[in-house]
A and B are shown apart, each in its own frame.
Chain A
Amino acid sequence: MNAPMTDEERFRKENPMSEFLRMERMPHIWCPGCGIGTVVNSFAEALKKSDLDMDKVAVVSGIGCTGRVAGYMKFDSLHTTHGRAIPVATGLKLANPDMKVVVVSGDGDLTGIGGNHFIHAARRNMDITVICVNNFTYGMTGGQVTPTTPTKANASTTPYGNYEYPFSLPFLADACGATYVARWTSLHARNITNSISEALKHKGFSFIEVITPCTTLYARRNRLGDGLDALQYYHDDSEIVHGADTREVDIEFQSKIKMGTFVHREKPTYLEAVNTHYANVIGDEYQLYGKTTPEREAEKKAQEQANQGSK
């Protein structure tokens, strides 16, 4: 008789998301009460529901707690340098436009050290999805202030409270040209899933901000309780305002959180703009860049048929 499965064996075998996770890498490094796992789960759920070819999905992360997402997801995945997930994702997408490239990283990584890349990818309407896990803190280095930390909140490098003005990320993304912008909290797992589904279908730069608790550092330092207290706060003090003016969705310390799909518009992506522009100005001489494999195959087939017809 076989020995009964241990809890760990059962977890590895029966985890509903195991097909999307590198189960051999478990257990992960995230703390109890952290929101990153929720985001990963919602991302996996959205992929499960999608009709994407899973071999054509790539996950790119920067550095930090959320930066570890790329290492746990069973896709072509690149764990890069601090702040540089977006330009790496840009290179990957442009080198192989068949790919659906998703960046998952933290607030410090994407909008602090990587802020320049964030605004330019949005400006170009680069066809990638960026999921920002915003816990208002640099977790891996021990709870320092980030560009999104609300004014007055305490951080290890603002031990007397934060006196800077934070970024409102949906406003930043919107202003820079992102064509899909949404925000949720980690309590709203289904909404996150739905937003990621929409973003995966969307052509162009899609941005999803997920407000999450950092229980070990941000919450403890600001005496906000544990993970459950954070979810209670998200439950009591969040409201859905789809289509909200992004100028009015700032988050202050423990203030009401406006969330929803704020921006959803159509605009040619970077590669569409490249191809349209060159086709217009160079004409027939232009070697169309970045056609997908099916497009290329169809073209080749048509060419062969035309050749046969002329014989």
Chain B
Amino acid sequence: MKRSLLLLIAVLISFVSLQRANAAALDEMSLKQYAKLREVERYQMKIADKYYHERNYKVAMAEYEKFLTLYERSIGAPYAQLRWSICLVHQRKLNTAIKEGFQSVVDYWPESNEAIAADYYIAKTYKDMGEVRKAKKTYQSVLDDHPKHLAAVYTCSDLIEIAKVQKDSDLLVKMWKQLTFETPRNRESKSLCQRASYELASYQFYQAALKEGLEALKTTYSEEQLAYYVLYYSRRPISTMAADSKTKAKAEKFADECIAYIRSVTPKNTSEEEDELIALNNGYYIGDIHIAAGRDTKVVPYYQEMMKQFGERDTIRDKIATYFKSKNKYDEARAQYRQYKNKVEGNSQIAYSYRQQKNYDPAVLAYRQNVVLDPDQAVHWNSTIATTYREASKYKEAVAVYEELYKTDSKNAEKWIWQIATTYRDAGEHKQAIAYYRQSNNFPSNYSEMAACHRRLKEYKEAIILYNQIIGGAPKSAAWALYEVARTQEAAGNKEKAILTFQQVCKRFPKDSYASRAHAHLQNTYKITVTLGGAKDE
């Protein structure tokens, strides 16, 4: 569980960093080149770069232009021209960027490193303009002319994107293979190559080609990691194929191959603790593959077999219980949890399973047992009890628990006040909720909650006062607060004031999404076409 969570986080981080990093290294000047700049040139370049990094592209562009005018023959000129062009791209003047920017780099400094980057940027800009055919042609020339350059790596990555949209599996596999097997991995290319390798593996697994998929995975993961990643990337293809009667047999065969592979890398001798752990984990992976293949009759006996081999373990019981829960067999699952060696964890799981079934009283009982069994974590268990009460709509009991926590856990007093207020709000006791929200320092959330409570109590004036305080004190929430003022006026029956306020939202915050809502509301509800507002996006 933890491992898959870690992997998910890693994938997310790599994906986000990929999005940001893609092509970023190409627009940087090398240290070697920078060292050759004269002091005056460096000074001007620093100014331009500062604005560039601040995303003030208009000013940055002017500064790069200044550099080019002053130091036309400088070694930094192609770099300045490249950056100037990228500034244009950020200002959404893509055609000008290609014609007057990137193309100039290629024409005037054809031997420079920036010319290769400019070639790539021309292709990328074409792609961003929707000129896919031109983009593909230019990408191809980058690949042909500079196969070892970093630009080629980014080119492959962009071509993968295009191939995915066009469902061009030949190009897709070709690019994946190029990145996975042929591209040297360095700081800039590593993440793209890794991504390509597991996308290729996933694709191969969907074709039930274990060997090819494994080859791709081997370029990224170590031998010890492979068993897990075989499971990770094969699980979905197996379950997808198993769900279709036409591909069921294929799924069975592929699942068996995966299991055979995992068994082959599992240590036979488990006398060493490390080997035993590997064998145990690999055992879990095999169990997961059985589940993915829909082999219901095999799952429980398999885990029982594991139990015989590795002895009674909570983790194995957890696997069995999770399987039972997936089949809606909660009593059988709880029978497993009851046999946990770690009673606290067992009780927690039992309680959670009851909550999943919306059976709250036994859940609370189980948590209460944990308060006694695990006094160090009493705050956590009591907080969970309160949450369970809230789920069960037993607000009075929940408040009592939170109040107790407020007294005993003064370090988190703010948190408990908020929870008490929210519980009162959910219970419909708005006056009590307001009293507690008032004690909170969580501005502007507490003010917005208080205003909402006042609105439910039909105390519209008070709500409007609070919203106005948000407008004054929290500029980021001002558009929302003004919109809420309008809605409050509307609820209070002050139609004219409501209309005026909706128009104010459009006029004062024409670029905000609340202007859009106010505009639509005025038109749909009041049939008012003069909504004010209007803006331009430069």
- Note whether A and B form a binding pair: no
Which residues of chain B have a CB within 8 Å of any CB of chain A? none
